[in-house]
């Protein structure tokens, strides 16, 4: 669809009383500052959408008198005649005041404004008017295709990116894999790239948590091991047994007495073994309970550390938010002070009257007729220009203040969230500390435990049995062998001690086996961590490959402009963007001429995509030596020395 603006007629629109302009495929409108160039573009935008060229709804279109007051009882209108693929159509929008008499009064008062709409001189309702324009071009398309600065300057980066991506078909998984064979190992048939990344990161976190625990577990097991020299103990055991056997032979005097003694000593050893088992079982049970509680105690210490870390971060975040709020409150105070100063300037400009300016400095007589009108017109134009500048600057400051106020409200909400987080963490930390103290108390109680009365009595009974057997041994043989028996008893006691220590060989073996399992688990976790890291690397490679393919497809659509759709951060992460470059220079660093030509190049590509060519308005066109060629109608607005608007159809 090719749309051409053929004629535009303005009546009482802003500073233009009456103006009719004929357009061709290339038209240049030039004039000095404040002669109404931008008003033409504003009138064109208002005719279609009821907004100015900056896409603002609320702005004044009524004309002002010499005192800078609105002139009432006038109709402001814009008429546009368009050619749409060879068919002519006329649109008209009229803005007029409504005056009415209040009950009981004969005087009419101003009560508001109303807008009338016409298409080909036929009255239309607002919706009918807007629907008819929408059939030609939507408001979004109009903004994109008529203003070279809109896409790269006014449009939000996210919307800009969405539009660019809509210009091409999405790159498929197969396309990405074909460009990078390494990516075949990614399971993209069952999961998205984001899901694979999330799973790999979660697995790495779990592995890291386990790897942090294993050294502590191994250290606990190493501390629990018995450090005795078992080979030396075994040698001592053999030597003691040999000594006992020699003493038995001396005591027995014969083979039969020796057999009887062996039976007695065997029985004593058996009873001592029972006593040792009672003590061992008690200590093992006690140690196992202590070990279980120690694990809980360690886990609680870790939770306390994490909670304190998170509390510290939350408090730092609140401090940072307080600083941000303070800075913005200072900016608001500065803005309000500046607004107050501007109000004083406004009142000063508003109250200025053309007094001495209307008196001839030579003869002292007041100017009359056309000369007086020219002086008044120049004075009012200068006054209006100053007031307009103050108004525009005031709007900018108010917008900035509103932005700061919104930011402050957002930061205060974040502060409340962080404070709630601190309160929650503090309560949780108190509970954990109480649990830790409770477990510490249980551990102290267990450490203080001793054998119960029943077990003590059981041991006493066994010891009494030993004494009885030893008395029986003493009565075997008639020789006075008390010294030998005493020596033998000393050997047997030491032998019992050695046997008790040797029994720990099995415990050490069990502990070594557990340590080996932890070390094997550590190796397996390390291997799994490397596998997950490889997945994360491939995910990054996938994203990089995808971004290059998409960027290449989009940039092939433009002649002069290239777009950077993805940016690599310092940490290697890929973030989305939509920044234009023109001849290798970032858009934000371009001069006005290059920005305009970059915008025209974008419009050319978007026009092909939407299959629509609509009039393009280029403001500040005097800054461009040579404009990019375009199939759309081109209307340029240029600053020149002319004191009135000059229209040139090229």
pLDDT digits (tens, 9 = 90+) for 43-63: 999 999 998 877 788 778 888
The closest of 505, 507, 487, 494 to 237, measured between CA atoms, is 494
319 within some domain: no
- 125-144: string of b/e by CB count within 10 Å (b at 16+)? eeeebeeebeebbeeebbbb
pLDDT at 232: 78
What's the pLDDT score for residue 618?
Answer: 94
CA quadruple 274, 275, 280, 282: dihedral sign: positive
pLDDT tens by residue, 283-305? 778 788 888 888 888 888 888 88
The CB density around residue 510, as the number of other CB atoms within 10 Å, is: 12
- The predicted structure's pLDDT at residue 117: 97
Q: Which backbone phi and psi does 217 adopt, to 5 degrees?
A: -65, -45
- Which tokens sit at 59? 């702005």
pLDDT of res. 26: 95
| Three-class SS of 374-410 | HHHHHHHHHHHHHHHHHHHHHHHHHHHHHHHHHHHHH
Domain hosting 54: range is 3-137+612-649
Domain with residue 109: its CATH number is 3.40.50.300
CA distance 477 to 480: 8
Residue 391 has pLDDT above 80, yes or no: yes
**CA-CA distance, 82 to 48, in Å (whole number)?**
12
In a domain, 107, yes or no: yes
In a domain, 101, yes or no: yes
The tens digit of pLDDT for each residue in 123-152 reads: 999 999 999 999 999 999 999 999 999 999
Split at pLDDT 50, 70, 90, the class of 254 is very low
| Confidence band, pLDDT 50/70/90 cuts, at residue 575 | confident
In this prediction, residue 576 carries a pLDDT of 77
pLDDT for 484? 74
Residue 33 CB: number of other CB atoms within 10 A? 9
- Residue 79 domain-assigned? yes
DSSP 537-594: HHHHHHHHHHHHHHHHHHHTT-SSEEEEEEEE-TTS-EEEEEEEEETTEEGGGS-HHH
The answer to whether residue 478 scores a pLDDT higher than 60 is no
Q: Give 76-132 pLDDT, tens digit per residue.
A: 999 999 999 999 999 999 999 988 887 777 788 888 899 999 999 999 999 999 999
**In terms of C-beta density within 10 A (0-12 exposed, 13-18 middle, 19 or more buried), how is residue 476 classed?**
middle
Query: For residues 485 and 347, which has the higher predicted lDDT (pLDDT)?
Result: 347
Identify whether 117 is part of a domain: yes
| Residue 189 lies inside a defined structural domain of this protein | no
List pLDDT tens digits, range 171-188.
888 888 888 888 888 888
pLDDT tens figures, 419-467 = 998 999 899 889 988 988 888 888 888 878 777 777 788 888 888 888 8
pLDDT value for 13: 93
> Residue range 602-612: average pLDDT?
93
pLDDT (0 to 100) of residue 352: 77
DSSP secondary structure letter of residue 115:
E
Could you give the CA distance from residue 488 to residue 248 in angstroms, rounded to a whole number?
A: 8
Q: pLDDT, tens digit, for every residue of 187-218?
A: 888 888 889 989 999 999 999 988 888 888 88
159-179 burial by CB neighbour count: b if 16+ within 10 A, else e?
ebbebbbebbeebeeeebbee
| Rounded Cα distance, 603 and 621, in Å | 16
Question: Which residue matches tokens 């070594």?
Answer: 512
% of the chain exceeding 90 in pLDDT: 28
Asked whether residue 255 carries a pLDDT value surpassing 50, the answer given is no
For the ranges 271-275, 366-370, 630-634, the one whose mean pLDDT is highest? 630-634
Higher pLDDT, 506 or 311: 311
Q: What is the pLDDT of residue 502?
A: 65
Asked whether residue 491 is assigned to any structural domain, the reply reads no
What is the count of structural domains for the chain? 1
The answer to whether the CB of 145 falls within 8 A of the CB of 566 is no
Cβ proximity of 415 and 99 under 8 Å:
no
pLDDT at 361 over 70: no
Mean pLDDT along residues 239-261:
68
- DSSP code at position 650: -
The whole-chain average pLDDT of the chain stands at 85
In a domain, 90, yes or no: yes
């Amino acid at each position: 669809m090719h749309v051409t603006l053929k004629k535009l007629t303005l009546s009482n629109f802003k500073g233009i009383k009456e103006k009719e302009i004929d357009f061709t495929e290339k038209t240049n409108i030039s004039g000095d500052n404040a002669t109404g160039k931008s008003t033409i573009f504003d009138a064109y935008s208002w005719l279609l959408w009821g907004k100015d060229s900056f896409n603002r709804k609320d702005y004044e279109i009524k004309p002002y008198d010499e005192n800078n007051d609105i002139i009432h009882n006038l109709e402001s209108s814009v008429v546009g005649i368009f050619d749409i693929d060879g068919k002519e159509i006329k649109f008209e929008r009229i803005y007029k005041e409504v005056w009415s008499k209040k009950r009981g009064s004969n005087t009419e008062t101003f009560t508001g404004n109303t807008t009338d709409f016409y298409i080909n001189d036929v009255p239309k309702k607002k919706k009918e008017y807007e629907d008819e324009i929408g059939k030609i071009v939507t408001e979004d398309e109009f903004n994109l295709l008529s203003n070279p600065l809109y896409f790269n300057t006014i449009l939000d980066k996210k919307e800009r990116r969405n539009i660019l991506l809509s210009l091409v078909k999405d790159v498929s998984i197969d396309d990405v894999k074909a460009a990078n064979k390494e990516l075949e190992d990614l399971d993209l048939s069952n999961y998205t790239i984001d899901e694979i990344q999330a799973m790999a990161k979660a697995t790495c976190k779990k592995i890291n948590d386990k790897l942090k625990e294993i050294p502590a577990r191994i250290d606990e097991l190493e501390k629990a091991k018995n450090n005795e020299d078992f080979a030396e103990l075994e040698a001592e055991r053999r030597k003691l047994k040999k000594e006992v056997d020699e003493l038995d032979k001396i005591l027995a005097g014969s083979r039969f007495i020796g057999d009887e003694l062996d039976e007695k000593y065997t029985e004593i050893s058996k009873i001592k073994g029972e006593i040792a088992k009672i003590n061992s079982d008690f200590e093992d049970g006690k140690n196992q309970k202590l070990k279980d509680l120690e694990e809980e105690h360690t886990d609680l210490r870790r939770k306390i550390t994490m909670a304190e870390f998170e509390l510290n971060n939350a408090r730092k975040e609140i401090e940072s938010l307080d600083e941000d709020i303070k800075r913005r409150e200072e900016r608001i105070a500065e803005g309000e002070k500046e607004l107050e100063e501007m109000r004083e300037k406004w009142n000063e400009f508003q109250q200025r009257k053309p007094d001495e300016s209307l008196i001839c400095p030579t003869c002292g007589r007041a100017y009359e007729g056309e000369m007086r009108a020219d002086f008044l017109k120049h004075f009012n134009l200068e006054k209006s220009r100053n007031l307009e500048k103050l108004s525009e600057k005031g709007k900018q400051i108010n917008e900035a203040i509103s932005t700061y106020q919104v930011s402050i409200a957002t930061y205060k909400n974040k502060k409340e969230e962080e404070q709630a987080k601190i309160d929650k963490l503090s309560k949780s930390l108190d509970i954990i500390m109480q649990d830790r103290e409770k477990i510490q108390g249980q551990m102290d109680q267990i450490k203080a435990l001793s054998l119960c009365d029943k077990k003590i009595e059981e041991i006493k009974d066994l010891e009494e049995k030993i004494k009885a057997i030893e008395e029986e041994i003493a009565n075997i043989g008639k020789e006075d062998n008390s010294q030998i028996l005493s020596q033998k008893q000393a050997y047997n006691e030491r032998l019992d001690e050695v046997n008790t220590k040797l029994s720990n060989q099995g415990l050490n073996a069990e502990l070594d086996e557990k340590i080996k399992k932890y070390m094997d688990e550590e190796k397996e976790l390390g291997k799994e961590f490397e596998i997950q890291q490889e997945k994360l690397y491939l995910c990054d490679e996938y994203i990089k490959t995808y971004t290059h393919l998409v960027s290449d497809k989009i940039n092939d659509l433009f002649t002069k402009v290239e777009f950077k759709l993805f940016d690599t951060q310092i940490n290697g992460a890929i973030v989305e963007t939509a920044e234009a470059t023109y001849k290798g220079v970032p858009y934000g660093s371009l001069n006005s001429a290059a920005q305009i030509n970059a915008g025209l190049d974008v419009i050319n590509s978007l026009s092909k995509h939407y299959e629509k060519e609509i009039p393009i308005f280029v403001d500040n066109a005097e800054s461009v030596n040579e404009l990019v060629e375009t199939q759309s109608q081109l209307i340029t607005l240029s600053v020149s020395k002319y004191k009135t608007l000059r229209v040139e159809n090229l």
